[in-house]
Structure 1
């Protein structure tokens, strides 16, 4: 009996240790790894990255201003890292005014997001993929998104004043880099967005009449690349080109040895290309993204279709397992397999962009298949190959070609059935020399000019039918 108190003491201590262990494990059930905010004109995204699945619930408060989105997070601690979200909200965010965070219940942290206007929030969780662990995404879309087509029309009819492309001052010139001579290593600044570019909202598909017109062209033989140039019609009309800067936001794309992200290079080249088009009285341009935010592949296509784009150009910077791979490549869509194993591998990689960038799959309907769309796709591929050839011939003046002909593969971003579409791999960011050149402003301008020249060459040989005269 003398050992009874000691035994009780040991049992009590063991019970306390077990309870402490359970409590510690419960408190550590979900650890926050990162907080990111991606504001954009289409929507603002808030990302919470964590090491385990996270329980959450949300609701809107619309009874009195300001409008608020309330999010309850279960089983996560109110850490200083989570509180960093408050300071990550930019004053210029289109949708979020501010964020408040506090302990609502013993095991629940509450986020109150004060809004600048009404939104249709989409909250969803993604499983680990690529460099990321579990992610809880808040996508805040406006309930009444702007009409990108009307924005383009208003802008094309407004009086414009010519202005040079805004660029930061550069040091005293070295000569522009020759194709095989890398320039100085300096990271490109974010060039200012040209006034002619409009970042559009997600949109519905284009009308049936335009699809029928494209289907009728499927039975016509492709025009020869050597066909004489046609004189401009008396009543010219504006042509619309969609420029797609690959990747963005959560999806950095490929990364070079010096830390250059593909998403940064593609946006810089896209903005320079948009600036060139903005100075052409016969063109108007849509940028599918005009900042560091992610646009799902399907929405990039939808944007181009809503503004009735005549051409679609997706800009990328290639990467390969071998660092000596180099040169520019142009791709078009393929109906029946890729033109090479490398093209197939690249298409698979690019199509994974939605997984890395983060997409709420529940918002998309199943794709509609029809004979009409198949006919349109056949015509689109024929036109895309012609368009890609024109751009390829211009790119060879500023860089060696990795492939001398237009390659083909099943790129999801090229699947607009009624718009000739190409994907331009400007260079290999995985090649140290080409990464240096991609970081150089002068070389970015050369790439943009080459693509612009290819677009002009295509329209000279394949003028679109007269539809709306230039005002």
Structure 2
């Protein structure tokens, strides 16, 4: 009996050994994404994979060893402008293992993590690279704007001049996240970036407006990071651009969304749970030094006002999109989109069209149509700021005529403003300012709008 068992065991072991060999992981694809903060490498693998990373110097390199793996695709080429990477090369190590070497421009910090399969991707190994000394990170250039009739007065100051009104432009998706994909292969991430860039160009030409691009390349920005970027630059409006998809290929038209009140409530709770994040939300009131009830009331007041202003901006954008073509819904929609949850920045999400509709997909690819969409969004944004200019902003009270003449100027009173200070700032006499606005004394209030006389 033992004589029979031994050969059988040997056969089973041999089959098991062949099965293990057959299950060697394969690297089926590799990509490189570069954003302003880091360089990301993504390896698509047939299964979860064990890896080790270590640096080498003179010259600077980073070695990635993948256990029991083989390469089934070419390694990607690297953008010459990448801050840290020169190139990638790979080879077999020890007969069954894979070694990938990154040639570097400078020493880096490497962070790696695995991603489980989802509906779009299989197993992935992600490696993020940042310069070790913090230098050389690529930054997104922000446009500069000349002084104009729409410039900050008593509000924020930059570089010794009145600050412009900041519009944060958020191109949805990016990098590993393509968003919706049309029947013709058009990726939402490409369309949103193209429209965002067109909108930024138009904003740059508007005196006193400044565009803040949340994403200005094919890379992914986390949803919370998008909010943080807008808040860090104290944006006056956040516009997130998307291209919708639906199972029904006949669905068409534009939609504009704001945050739902239920979404606002849940987000307010999250902010209040982290005092270091919420301490600077309410006009300089440190919530960490106040009781929970006051903090909650202040938070609710701020977020409700933000949603109301978001709705005003959304309605104006939707009206202008309606002049361009079909709208999917005639009224502003509400939803719990994560990128709309900044408690103190009015935020809207524009679904420009249905990329799942073949006709709308074709138009979304067209540069001319992209520009028309950007123009419609801009007209809505300008209409909102004419009606609700930020505190301390001087604006034209009426649109400019074709002959180049300007309308009357209006100034929104901000915290700390005085009538004498406003008169001095705009080179008018206090008496003329009083007379022009029907004031009997020098008392003014925050939010009050003053008309500035042209000739005084």
**Normalization by structure 2: what TM-score?**
0.70
The residue that corresponds to 1:194 in the other structure is none
- CA root-mean-square deviation: 3.4
1:463 counterpart = 2:452: no
Q: Give 1:145 deviation, angstroms.
A: 6.8
1:125 counterpart = 2:118: no
* Alpha carbons of structure 1 residues 96 and 129: separation in structure 2 relative to 1, 3 Å: same
1:334 counterpart = 2:239: no
Quote the Cα distance in structure 2 between the aligned partners of 1:441 and 1:149: 26
Say which of 265, 284, 308 aligns to 1:382.
Answer: 308
Question: 5 Å matches for 1:225-374?
Answer: 237-336=163-262, 371=296, 372-374=298-300
Q: Give 1:151 deviation, angstroms.
A: 5.8
* Alpha carbons of structure 1 residues 76 and 374: separation in structure 2 relative to 1, 3 Å: farther
Instruction: Report if the CA contact (8 A) 1:40-1:94 is conserved.
Output: no
Instruction: Report if the CA contact (8 A) 1:330-1:388 is conserved.
Output: yes
Structure (1 or 2) with the larger CA radius of gyration = 2
Instruction: Report if the CA contact (8 A) 2:258-2:340 is conserved.
Output: yes
Please, which runs of 5 or more residues in structure 2 have no aligned partner? Answer: 148-154, 265-273, 279-294, 395-424, 427-456
Q: Give 1:148 deviation, angstroms.
A: 10
The residue that corresponds to 1:39 in the other structure is 34
Instruction: Report if the CA contact (8 A) 1:149-1:306 is conserved.
Output: no
The residue that corresponds to 2:357 in the other structure is 431
Please, which runs of 5 or more residues in structure 1 have no aligned partner? Answer: 160-208, 211-234, 339-364
**Normalization by structure 1: what TM-score?**
0.68
SS in 1 for 2:230: helix
Q: Give 1:13 deviation, angstroms.
A: 9.2
The residue that corresponds to 1:188 in the other structure is none
Quote the Cα distance in structure 1 between the aligned partners of 2:106 and 2:257: 41
The residue that corresponds to 2:409 in the other structure is none
SS in 1 for 2:228: helix
Quote the Cα distance in structure 2 between the aligned partners of 1:429 and 1:280: 30
1:96 counterpart = 2:85: yes
Map Cα deviations across residues 251-299 of structure 1 (whole Å, 9 max, x no partner): 1111111111111111111111111011223112111111111111111
- The structure showing larger relative contact order (alpha-carbon pairs under 8 Å, at least 6 residues apart) is 1
The residue that corresponds to 2:431 in the other structure is none
Say which of 68, 73, 76 aligns to 2:66.
Answer: 73
SS in 2 for 1:379: helix
SS in 1 for 2:323: coil
Whichever structure has more strand as a proportion of its residues is 2
Map Cα deviations across residues 435-457 of structure 1 (whole Å, 9 max, x no partner): 11111121111100000111111
Q: Give 1:124 deviation, angstroms.
A: 0.5
Alignment length, in residue pairs?
Answer: 358
Q: Give 1:323 deviation, angstroms.
A: 1.1
Say which of 312, 317, 326 aligns to 1:400.
Answer: 326
Instruction: Report if the CA contact (8 A) 1:148-1:307 is conserved.
Output: no
Map Cα deviations across residues 79-110 of structure 1 (whole Å, 9 max, x no partner): 352xx22x422323232112232334455422
Instruction: Report if the CA contact (8 A) 1:70-1:111 is conserved.
Output: yes
- Larger displacement relative to structure 2 (446-455 or 111-120): 111-120
SS in 2 for 1:336: helix
Quote the Cα distance in structure 1 between the aligned partners of 2:189 and 2:41: 19
